[in-house]
Amino acid sequence: MDRQSDETLRWLSLRDFVPGPHLSGKTTVVGRTPQTELLKLGHLTCIDTDCCHGGWLTALAITSGRMWQTDESGRLRDSGPP
């Protein structure tokens, strides 16, 4: 992160560039690019599900992969046990 420009950290979208896997082999979890559903690319997961525009606010348990979501009307979604 410390080697990334402020412009990249602030504005680069997954629509513009999808980074490759991290050298550690760990999955990267990001937001910043609104999707209608979780975007899972194997090495990268985007949890921005567009709550600012009527979509879902998403929480993800990293170790289990379980997901919880709520929308502006209070509806809840739970992916259930993995």
Tallying the residues shown for the chain, one arrives at 82
pLDDT in tens, 51-80: 999 999 999 998 999 999 999 999 999 998
Predicted confidence (pLDDT) at residue 11 exceeds the cutoff of 70: no
DSSP assignments along 7-75, one per residue: HHHHH--TTT------TT-PPEEE-SS--SS-EE-SSEEE---BGGGT-BEEEE-TTT--EEEE-TT--
pLDDT in tens, 31-53: 888 999 999 999 999 999 999 99
Predicted confidence (pLDDT) at residue 5 exceeds the cutoff of 90: no
Domain ranges within the chain, ordered by starting residue: 6-18+26-78
